[in-house]
Amino acid sequence: MADIDTIQTVEALAGDKYVHGFVTDIEQEFAAKGLNTDVIRFISAKKNEPDWMLQWRLDAYERWLVMDEPDWAKVSYPRIDYQDLYYYAAPKQKDGPKSLDEVDPELLDTYKKLGIPLREQEVLAGVQGAPRYAVDAVFDSVSVVTTFKAELAKVGVIFCPLSEAVRDYPDLVRQYLGSVVPVSDNYFACLNSAVFSEGSFVYVPPGVRCPMELSTYFRINALNTGQFERTLIIADKGSYVSYLEGCTAPMRDENQLHAAVVELIVLDDAEIKYSTVQNWYPGDADGKGGIYNFVTKRADCRGDRSKVSWTQVETGSAITWKYPSCVLRGADSMGEFYSIAITNGRQQADTGTKMIHLGAGSTSRIIAKGISAGRSSSTYRGLVSVHPKARGARNFTQCDSLLIGKTCAAHTVPYIEARNASAQLEHEATTTRLSEDQLFYVMQRGLSQEEAVQLLVNGFVKDVLQELPMEFAVEAQKLVAVSLEGSVG
Amino acid sequence: MSLREALLTHNADLLPGRRDEDWRWTDLRGVLRPLPDMSTDLQGLTSRPDIEVLPGVIVRRHAAPVAGGVSDIELVVARGEVVLLLDAFEAGEGAYVRDAALPIRLEEGASLTRLVLAEDGADAVSVICSDVSLAAGATFHQTVIASGARRQRIETRVTHPGQGASVRLDGAYLLSGKRHADQTTRLDHTGPGGESRQLVRGVAADQSRGVFQGRIIVREGADGADARLTHNALMLSEKAEIDAKPELEIYADDVACAHGNTVGALDEEALFYACARGIPAPEARLMLIEAFIGEIVERIDEAVLQALARSFVATRLEALRG
């Protein structure tokens, strides 16, 4: 038995464990390499954008030119040459497919391999009553297909690529785009504002509970290409939507840049649940290759009693720089942040959240679990800030770090700023390694070391996993196991 | 960037400000333009403390400078020696600027119990910094009690070698008016088997501002480190502010590190309980604050230092009355 275990473990390790690392061989068209106003005009023209959108991009580019790249995060990487990147890559196509049958079979095959259902009947073909979810599949700089649009439209929910929304719903886009993350918010958000290519747009009308999970699947395929997606979700009064985002990329020796912006707007009594399973290629064991994941995500709880819940499972990327935040503007608004960040090999993650309490009675809850293995480093960086008008604001924060091995590092940097005496803020953090006693206990009952570690790690992250929609929780749990393979012994 | 360099070279550009991560809540740039003249009695190193010896206790009285003053006094506790030390900072008149560096070195098996009582004028800017290094088997226990100033920063940086050395870094701040107090600690575990304990408590009334920054570092190879840090703050007024940043920076896996941080108002239920038993509300409030800060005082393990701390706290509590 033990022998079989060993053989299986060795086999699992021998092949590269990143199963999404294949490249789709497909004819693609690119913008010219480098970044300048011509490239921005090219992207804008490719998307048939109105002039105001182009001006918005050019304005962002002007501002980006004079900004400095931030260096305060606990991550280190060689300087990025922004002129050595492609800012637009898209599978070549004639007039744009009318139906899925016209989409390049190579592309369909890619999503099949990734396990993403692009055909509505395929989703339905499962067990009776199985949960359905709508998908927007983004391949490099364009959206390939968005499923269930018609069915969603029946209840008034708009779910489409952002480029389509710019053309079809310009008023909504103009009103909300950049209203949560301003153009020059930070270096990477500003870059994104200039060159963003694709992303999802969601609008849920007042009082509507979105009938299914919405999801966007991001795939970077082309070489030397950055992905700059931009997602905008608006939950109007009394509505509810659950949204999931997944990401993968091929294994390449070069680093690739992913600088996304996600903006959520939540009005009175509305709720957005936003879940991320981030599995970008992390680079190999020596730190070669992998995605630089520099992302700005922010939710604006504008309405009273509005609620946002961020759940993230971060297992991929060579470097992660990401702080999904909540601006709790409305009275009694509520923000939640549940995070699992796993680093292995040479990965570096600096991630956390910001809870800005502006409204009276606003509450927030932060549960962050960091796991470091190999030679990796993982940092939790968070801010809880209570402004003078946020009477009765309440925050609870818990961050726990788990270290596996002698060469990894874990850091915790929580900032608390309280300017209201009726606020109540609590923060707890612990850093420990896997307990020898627990390992011994579990192994004594017949589990291999690898299985024992998995079991204990699953227990460690359970609080966060249970916040994910059910079908993704299972996937995430597997991902956690895969990410830590080979980290013990 | 340091106040010292700025004072000695008379160059305000060298002042730390809110863009410096370690000084984000204690901005000196905004308050020190123009820089004061340095006191002229001694070049460079100006104010010197009066050192006296109470029975069993070394007392260093640090008088406030007239305008700007820097001081630099090292203390070495020899092998196996046991020392009790009181560093008393005395308030001066007006808007003086103080920069005191008080490095401490503990030789093998030495033991130092240090009490810092920091009194400064409401218009003063005062920066007090101690670099403390311990040899194996040494013991360093410190309690800092501060009442703030226009800007007051008390920073303690400890290099902890593990190997049986023991460190306790406690602190308390009691603030009223527009005072500001910053307690910053940095505890660097460099060797195996180090233990450290930290408890810092503060109260901020009126428009005062309390700042706490505590960083625990566990270096590669400092296995078996056991570090605990807790900061609790009470806000007594709508206009008070508390900023806190407890940090863990861990490069070893066999560790047990934890920090806790809470900010809130006085417990209304405890207040109601006391009032229901006939204690007037202002008295009840003071009792609760006294009990809250009292825990810091009680952790001082030398009776003579504990008595000094208690009387300092009692005076500051009076200022919070009303």
B261 with A426: Cβ contact below 8 A? yes
Contacts of A413 in chain B (CB under 8 A): 245, 247
Q: Do A408 and B253 touch (CB under 8 A)?
A: yes
Q: How confident is the model at residue A3 (pLDDT cuts 50, 70, 90)?
A: very low
| Minimal CA separation from B244 to chain A, in Å | 5
Q: Is residue B284 part of a domain?
A: no
Nearest to A403 among B243, B250, B262 (CB): B250
Range of the structural domain that residue B55 is part of: 45-267
List of chain A residues whose C-beta atoms are within 8 Å of the C-beta of residue B210: none
Measured CA to CA, the distance from residue A465 to residue A192 in angstroms comes to: 30
Query: What residue of B is the nearest CA neighbor of A404?
Result: B253
CB-based contact B247 A413, cutoff 8 Å: yes
Residue B28 placed within a domain: no
The domain total for chain B is 1
Closest chain A residue to the Cα of B219, Cα to Cα: A409
Residues of chain A with C-beta less than 8 angstroms from the C-beta of B208: none
Radius of gyration, alpha carbons of chain B: 20
Averaged pLDDT, B102-122: 96
User: End-to-end alpha-carbon separation of chain B, Å?
Assistant: 40
Residue B278 belongs to a domain: no
Mean pLDDT of the A303-322 span: 92
Residue B71 lies in a domain: yes
Mean pLDDT is highest, among A115-119, A252-256, B235-239, for B235-239
- Which chain B residue's Cα is nearest to A426? B262
Find chain A residues with C-beta within 8 A of B248's C-beta: 401, 410-412, 429, 431
Among the ranges given (A125-129, A242-246, A291-295), the one the predictor scored with the smallest mean pLDDT: A125-129
Which of chain A's residues have a Cβ under 8 Å away from the Cβ of B247? 411-414
Residue A52 pLDDT class (50, 70, 90 cuts): very high
B322 in a domain, yes or no? no
Show residues of chain A in contact with B209, CB under 8 Å.
Answer: none
Q: Is the pLDDT of residue A336 over 80?
A: yes
Domain coordinates in residue numbering, chain A: 19-483
Residue B114 is assigned to a structural domain of this protein: yes
How far is residue B27's CA from residue B199's CA, in Å, rounded to a whole number?
A: 25
* B256–A432 C-beta distance less than 8 A: yes
- Counts of helices then strands in chain B (DSSP H, E): 4, 18
Mean pLDDT of A14-29: 68
Å between A242 CA and nearest CA of chain B: 32
Interface with B, mutate which of A385, A394, A402, A416 (most B CBs under 10 A): A416
Contact (CB<8Å) A414/B261? yes
Per-residue pLDDT at A10 exceeds 50:
no
B97 vs B37: CA distance, rounded Å:
9
Percent of the residues in chain B that have a pLDDT greater than 90, as a whole number: 72
Residue of B180, B220, B263 to mutate, testing the A interface (most A Cβ within 10 Å of its Cβ): B263
- Mean pLDDT for B117-137 is 95
Q: Which residues of B touch A408 (CB under 8 A)?
A: 253
The pLDDT of B172-188, averaged and rounded, is 96
B257 contacts A411? CB cut-off 8 A: no
What count of residues does chain B have?
322
pLDDT of residue A125: 42
- Count Cβ atoms below 10 Å from residue B303 Cβ, excluding itself: 9
**Mean per-residue pLDDT for A4-23?**
53
Contact A306, A267 (CB under 8 A): yes
Sequence-distant (6+) residues with CB within 8 A of A256 are A220, A224, A225, A226, A227, A249, A290, A291, A292
Smallest Cα–Cα separation from A40: which of A64, A58, A62, A63?
Answer: A58
Q: Is residue B222 part of a domain?
A: yes
Average pLDDT, chain A: 84
CA distance B138 to chain A (A): 26
Each residue's pLDDT tens digit, B85-111:
999 999 988 899 999 999 999 999 999
Q: From its phi and psi, is residue B293 left (phi > 0), alpha (psi between -120 and 50) or beta?
A: alpha
Spatial CA neighbour of B259 closest among A432, A403, A457: A432
Which one has a higher pLDDT value, A153 or A469? A153
Shortest CA gap A113–chain B (Å): 38
pLDDT of B119 reads 94
Partner residue facing B262 (CB), from A72, A412, A425: A425
Tell me, what's the pLDDT at A199? 84
Whether the ω angle into residue A170 lies within 30 degrees of 0, i.e. cis, is no
pLDDT bracket for residue A334 (50, 70, 90): very high
Chain B CB contacts of A427 below 8 Å: 246, 259-262
pLDDT surpasses 70 at B76: yes
Rounded to the nearest angstrom, the minimum Cα separation between B45 and chain A is 35
Contact B248 A409 (CB under 8 A): no
Interchain proximity B259–A403, CB inside 8 Å:
no
Cβ proximity of B126 and B47 under 8 Å? no
For residue A33, give how far its alpha carbon lies from the nearest alpha carbon of chain B (Å). 36
- pLDDT band per the 50, 70, 90 thresholds, residue A40: very high
Mutate to test the interface with A, among B175, B200, B242, B250 (most CBs of A within 10 A): B250
Question: Which residues of A lie inside 8 Å of B (Cβ-Cβ)?
Answer: 72, 388, 401, 403-433
Give the ipTM of the model, two decimals please: 0.85
- B chain contacts of residue A401, beta-carbon cutoff 8 Å: 248, 250
Contact between A349 and A377 (Cβ < 8 Å): yes
Q: In chain B, which residues touch A (CB < 8 A)?
A: 21, 220, 223, 233, 235-265
Burial letters B229-255, b for 16+ CB under 10 A, else e: bbbbbbbbeebbbbbbbbbbbbbbbbb
- Taking the CA of residue A343 and the nearest CA in chain B, the distance in Å comes to 14
Bigger pLDDT: B309 or A117?
B309
> pLDDT grade, residue B195 (50/70/90)?
very high
Which residues in chain A are contacts of B267 at CB distance < 8 A?
A: none
Q: Compute the nearest-CA separation of B219 from chain A (Å).
A: 9
**Mean pLDDT estimate for chain B:** 91
Asked whether the beta carbons of residue B259 and residue A412 sit closer than 8 angstroms, the reply is: yes
Q: Is A384 helix (H, G, I), strand (E, B) or coil?
A: strand
pLDDT-based confidence at residue B47 (cuts at 50, 70, 90): low
Across the interface, whether the CB atoms of A428 and B259 are under 8 A apart is answered yes
**Overall size of chain A counted in residues:** 489
Instruction: Kindly determine whether residue A431 and residue B250, on different chains, have CB atoms separated by under 8 Å.
Output: yes
- Render pLDDT for B216-263 as a digit per residue (tens, 0 to 9): 999 998 998 999 999 999 999 989 999 999 999 999 888 889 999 999
Residue of chain A whose alpha carbon sits nearest to that of B232: A426
Tokens representing residue A121 in the block: 């009947």
- Better pLDDT: A61 or B71: A61
